[in-house]
Structure 1
Amino acid sequence: MLRFLIPLLALVLFMGYTVFAIATSDQSLGAFASELMSRPTTALVVFDVYLALLLIATWMFFDARKRGYGAGYLALFYVITFCFGSAGPLAYLTLRGWHDYRRTRR
């Protein structure tokens, strides 16, 4: 049961903070992204995060294929991942754990 509860808790907390941060921000997301990319040091952090997300997306692809899911199953997780970062893999891990939990309870 912890295989889906821990990522679910992390997903809820992360998305809750994301909504809070966006709602209370004094600038648009576009302005924020532009500001991040305007300096080499912060751009490096953005590139590093997206490289890590790409590695995680690759793992998700092979894990989903091993479990019998196609690319269509992953499409939503990829959109979430590349728009909201960690939320995509956390959602994937939550559903993966839920499927495993349901499979063992039968």
Structure 2
Amino acid sequence: MELGESIENTAKREVYEETGLLVEELSLFNVFSGESYFRKLENQDEFYMVTIVYSSNKFTGTEKVSDEESLKLQFYKIDNLPKVMLGTHKNILHNFLKKQLTQK
């Protein structure tokens, strides 16, 4: 997050920097924090992450992998998600899918 930048603009900028996609119409999904978001780095720094998750179905641009921040960029069908995923990401995705199913 840059000084004076809103969370929404940070999300849009980060998506663009990492994927080349311009995202519009962000919808706040949830804020994740707590014990399961604790990290200890190799240099022994310790911190708790706060993850703010937005969703959007509206984006433009051409997908591109950022050499500095991304290894791979790919869209997945909901019934064919990657088997290997960070635990915190699995939790976020599980909660998002659960909410989507209850809204239908």
TM over 0.5: no
Query: Normalization by structure 2: what TM-score?
Result: 0.29
Highest relative contact order (Cα 8 Å, sep 6+), 1 or 2?
Answer: 1
Q: Which of structures 1 and 2 has the bigger CA Rg? A: 1
Greater per-residue helix proportion: 1
More strand by share: 2
